[in-house]
Structure 1
Amino acid sequence: MRLPWWIPVVLIQTHCGLCRPGSGVVFTRNPANQTVTQGNSVHLGCAVEGISDADISWRKDGLKIHSNDQMHLTLGDQHWETYYSLKSVQQQDAGVYWCEVDFHSLTYTSQPAWVTVEGVPHFLQDPQDVATLPGVPFDLRCAAVGPPEPVEVVWWVGGAAARGPSPSPSVLHVQGVNSSVKFYCEAHNAKGISVSRTGTVNIKVLPSPPVELRVLRMEENNITLSWKPGFTGYSELSTCTVQVSAPSGLGGGVSELEVGVPPYLLHLHHLTFYSNYTTRVACHNELGPSPFSPWLGFQTPQTVPAVAPRNLTFDLREQELHLGWAVLAEAELRGRLLAYKLQWSLGGEGQEALLFKENSARLSGAGRFFNSSFQVSACTVIGCGPWSRPITVLPAAAVPASPQRSHLVVGVSLGALVASMVGLVLMVLLQRREKETQFGSVFKDPGPDSVSFLAARSFNRQGPDLPDSTLDSLGINEDLKTKLQDVLIQERLLTLGHVLGKGEFGSVREALLKTGDSVQKVAVKVLRSDVDSSSDIEQCLKEAAYMKDFTHPNVIQLIGVSLHRRAGQRLPVPMVILPFMKHGDLHTFLLLSRLGDDPFELSVQTLLGFLVDVARGMDYLSTKNILHRDLAARNCMLNENMTVCVADFGLSKKIYSGDYYRQGSLSKLPVKWIALESLADNVYTCQSDVWAFGVTMWEVMTRGQTPYPGVENSEVYEYLIKGERLKQPPDCRDDVYEVMHSCWSPVPKCRPSFQRLLEQLEGLGAAASPPPPRPPLLYVNLEGGEQGAESDWVMTCSAAMAIGGDYRYIMGPCGDGGEEEEGSPDPLQDLRDEEDDVVIHV
């Protein structure tokens, strides 16, 4: 097998450079080299000792392998094992594999393993298209490898063999062609023949005109043009010529600009506002220019006028005041004139502005404008330009006879205006000083040790530290605080052990709880340490508040709540204390029954017993008016007596008869377990929990397979709306699948209640017979793993974003849409009498 030249170097640097002597991290198992035939499977294993968390990843040829269902198993205290499987190996799977651990800011790697795939030749280099001038010689290249070797290449040009077998890699020299021709190569070895892609020899020609010429951006008087090249003539474009025609009022003429490409953009700066331009483009390859594109016309945007109106004059008569000013030129206006704005003031006090369409104004009542000041501005739809110089209206008798007298009057008027303004400013400053000095010596120069600061919320940090945190320190609401007060456990009574699993919101740790003179083994859910808001903490504790009132053998019960103090943090970390479940979650238990190193048989009667336990727990929750909203095999736990307990109420909501819970915003939800109406409109009822129970039944009957194999999360809604449902598992009896399928009716009220499901499953369990021999099940997207009799484990799960938007789903009487099979019982008869109808508006 041939590997890229860089792989041995990377392995030497990574493995030898980062495994520190004496670190305590040791790989007790390394993946082994394997040679397989194409289509067979490969199973790689790796184990590491000396780490507290299972954070082992796989890499291929230096790149991280992302696997949604990778399994980690514990072989002992701080001893973890993981596996990676390839179900049907192809040539692209060949390469070098190793596993990697990040621990205490260091990276540790296992020994590498080479996976060699034997099959028909694999092309490392397909022949590429060629663009050439007529009669010019050129070379064609092709390279393929095994294993097995040797590999020989046969060339085909224009439908005929151009040359006999030659060793790979192969180069074919062609003397030249005058027209387009197709070619490809064949690679032969002992396993068979592979055919490369078909290439084409193209003859270079002149390019076609550019297309999609448009104004990409327009910012004030700066324009960005963009276009796309037409047919390039099988030759790279080097430049484009842009012609811009200016409007006749600006001198006209055509400017020509040469632009290097790509990108196919041109920025035109400092164009004239509110003016019409046209432009076109032609592009060049090595043979010459293309024809020009059609002309594109565009208009630059408007803006405010550049100058103020000039020559503002007045004519004061007995009954009216006449004002006039000069019209602005188009270049000065820089837009379509909307109006002239006339503002005036009397005695220094501004008056309401006036708007005029023409360059003149006639105001009646001349006497009221004596000693008034006027200014005018031109306005476009964008805004108004600068103001003209102010003029003061004086009676005719007051107008001086000579220019010297006029200047004197104007000077006196301006002096009086300035004096009044200075007096006004001094008055404001004195008032401010009087107000501020009520609160201290504001105008006194600060000393060298003075500190200026803004008022802020402060905390007393001088008091003694409290020995234990209380619920009062969390900032949660009073009702939740009262409900949890009697189950609060002091932190010093807990001894935390190793991590059992991790999730999006925190981790689950094994722990010992001291109660009197005895010690009890428990599981502790710890919120992430970076969560520091009261709202997030309150949401976490709501789950504990729901569990506090649960008293049922098939629903996990709360032991207590504790608070972990954090150095330098304002809020403690809440910890929810739960019973320790010896056999872990139901999903991983089912996987290990099929894929562990010591697989074991689970009879149909045992699987139905698991489902009866789940149905009992969910029936109890429904009587408490609790929506679970995340029912799945991963959230069902197995205690030491192999009894299933429904757990993980992080998405639960309290409901009341006749109501439904509507999610207010998008959040991460388990899409493949969510009911059709919940995907469409974020509506959750007890019937949507019944849908999830049907999916959980499918998980149990397939021994842990992932629902809807081959269907992406984003495709689930479209899959369901077409009437598709999960298929009947190979070993699932018809009567069991019939119950399962009844949970997925498109009409929520046509699904059975949990009480009815419990009755049906108990009847099926009583009638279950010993299982017949069955072939091995195929599991999609799962890596196998090993586990001892008393091993700890953790399954890494991922949730997908719920589908939002204005979706619609099928609503109608029971049986509409063809969902119910012939002969199945009518689910409407199984609805409980006390349930009210839930109306969903579609």
Structure 2
Amino acid sequence: MFCSPQLCCLWNVVTINAFLDQGMSSLSVYGPPSPGIRFTKSPANLTVTQGNSARLGCAVEGLSEPEIAWMKDGEKLYSTDQMYITLEAQHWETFHSMKSVQQQDAGKYWCEVEFHGMSISSEPAWITVEGVPHFVLEPQDVATFPALPFNLTCAAVGPPEPVEVLWWVGGQQKGNAQPSPSVLRVSGVNESVKFYCEAKNARGLSVSRTGTVHIKVLPEAPQDVQVLQVLESNITLVWVPGFNGHSDLNTCTIQKSGRKVQLPVWREMVPPYQKVIGGLDCYSNYSVRVQCDNEVGSSPFSPWVGFQTPESVPLVAPKNLTFDLTEQQLSLSWATLKEEELRGRLQAYKIQWDQGGVSQDELLFKENVARLSGGGRFFNATFQVSACTVVGCGPWSQPVLVMPASVLHRSTQRGHMWVGLLLGLLVATMLGLLLTVLVHRRNKETQFGSAFKPPGDESSVSFTAARSFNRQGQDPTESTLDSLGINDDLKTKLQDVLIPERLLTLGHMLGKGEFGSVREAFLKIEDSSVQKVAVKVLKTDITSSSDIEQCLKEAAYMKDFHHPNVIQLIGVSLHRRPQQRLPIPMVILPFMKHGDLHTFLLMSRLGDEPFMLSLQTLVQFMLDIAQGMEYLSSKNIIHRDLAARNCMLNENMTVCVADFGLSKKIYSGDYYRQGSVSKLPVKWIALESLADNVYTTQSDVWSFGVTMWEIMARGQTPYPGVENSEIYEYLIRGERLKQPPDCRDDIYEIIHSCWSPVPKCRPTFQRLIEQLEGIQASLSPAPNKEPLLYVNLNAEDSDQGAVASGPEEPSWGVPWQCVGMEEDEKDWLMIASGAARAIGGDYRYIIGPPSGGIDEDGRQVSEMLEGIPEDVKEEDEDFIINV
């Protein structure tokens, strides 16, 4: 039988359902057969490029109003925009659409309908997502000892396969690409470094999270030490460990002090971070402190924490209960208890007594004396006394029998005689021993103590001092600016911001660079409060006065800065080094809670918990930097190192321009010429600065354009795939940074205007502020969006062999023109703009080799490659995205 594909398909469906009616095997292996209900269309297998759209469809016949559910890997998919299409009576079709397919969308899909408690399923289909590699194992942070070897592991998968891994450690490539998974053996490091891996396949390149190799150090002191569950004789002590020094804590030491003595020390395995301390006295004051150990050593102790144990009943009974009996009254007295015997606050003394074996009412007295009227009635009575606190009363004293004095005198007279004889004998014995010692020991008193000469032939003197003297010298004098060997003008500028080193307490390191480090610190101020600050410390191996002077010049610039978008100087301190002629200068700056802008942008995209940054926020970042730079330019300051890494974010998410190590003040003219050789940020430097070492406010505008590009690219490195040594040739051809994904055309137009090869054609910072404020005013609240992908994929359907095209370039005509240009400058711009359009592409991300497609202007791709050298075509044509 001959039929069209559509008729054949329908015939197959009818035939299969006929088998179902006869009890044969079901069309669906997932649901039981149901007469009259069948899926006439099941979803088809799809292979989709990451970022492209996909649609699955299925159709069911036999139900009047079916509820068709889409399933993925056994889980029901919930959609608010599912639509049903009526094909004919009791015949319905529905679709499941995905606008931008991601790796997590890969899996098995099918449709289900419910009928009388039974689930009827369609045939399943699989979606395979092709795109840049997906990391299944990213490199994790490493903690190690200096120079000790360790391994780093990274694994990524496609599709497509194969996937190769390339390692970057400390900003440098390590070895060549290796098949995934990859294990990198590192021989050892001596300081903390960053590392990451890149995974590449035929679709592109992905960058893993950035890990850190930490050097193990001593832990910090425990924090938040608290005493819980204070009982009579024990407490529960808890604490929070401080920074562990990148090494697990194994034990903690608890010290306890009492009234006058240092009490035992306990060493506890941790976690948990708590200790039950027993054997305590009631109603006593104690103090405890804690230190913790890792494999490097012990942390400092935490501050002492005091506590008082609760009251209890007295420990002993009052002693020396005596009485004085007259006909008018009975007086009782007893000794007061010592504080450690009382174990609380005395409330009263309780007296119990009985007469003739009959107990009488108990009596309470505030003092240790009781006076009872009518002495005769207490004859032959027995008395006991007890001390009472708020908790209760202690033990009773020995009973005392009240009798007249004459009777007591006769009964005790004989006992007193024997006591007198024994005391006389004891006194005589002690006097004899004392005389013997005085005869054998000559005593000489001096003005300062006692010197004794023992018997024997040899003369020796032992000396007991009558007074002790403290001969400890004064604290070392504070370092001054005079000890640095810097010029007088710089000393004068910094004299009023010099802060004594004793007021600073340095904490852990926040960052490290070529010339020093930045550390967290605490600064004591005049009202005895403490301010958290950041301290830039010059490297300890720098011994030259010129290097120290260069560091302090940055502080001198900052001393005069007063603007919310420019970091302000708090002060300068000098660290005295033993056996060194020159102290180390320390520049004290405000502590910035969110760190540098570049790291913040990277963490928003590549951190462990990525977060969305709205366009309003990104534009505000740019506006903050522009306002800070406009302020600096008004002060005739050229920054020369403007980049996202040198902009800081405070607790209010306000950006402050920082790091003025390369800044220069213009005293005459409007430019500065670099005379000495120094390390410079090549990818942020203007074209004329690379060519002639000339720096102006307009060259800072160029750097600001690169910084804006960093912000819109969420921290991506500029000119990916272009080496530092190739930047000048790259720019002179008219090449510039490409428009980042999700960057609006009007924003990129502002960015692009900063890169005119003619400096006077670049906008001023004041003009940039006006333009950014205009964009900010036009922005409405941005809807929530998924985090940006760190890829550059623009192909609609790579399976059809089409060449992916980049963002459509705004039609600016000949870019970078301005009023007052010379004719030769205009000619140069025409050539440069043509060159800029002749070669495109981002060498960092790989889509696939060009296939001879046609670009927007109708030119063949092969023709566009004619200007590229043959060796470049052969080596790099797989790296060209958009040509």
Which of the five TM-score ranges fits, normalised by the shorter chain?
Answer: 0.3 to 0.5
> RCO (CA 8 Å, sep 6+): is it higher in 1 or 2?
1
Scaled by the length of structure 1, the TM-score of the pair is 0.43
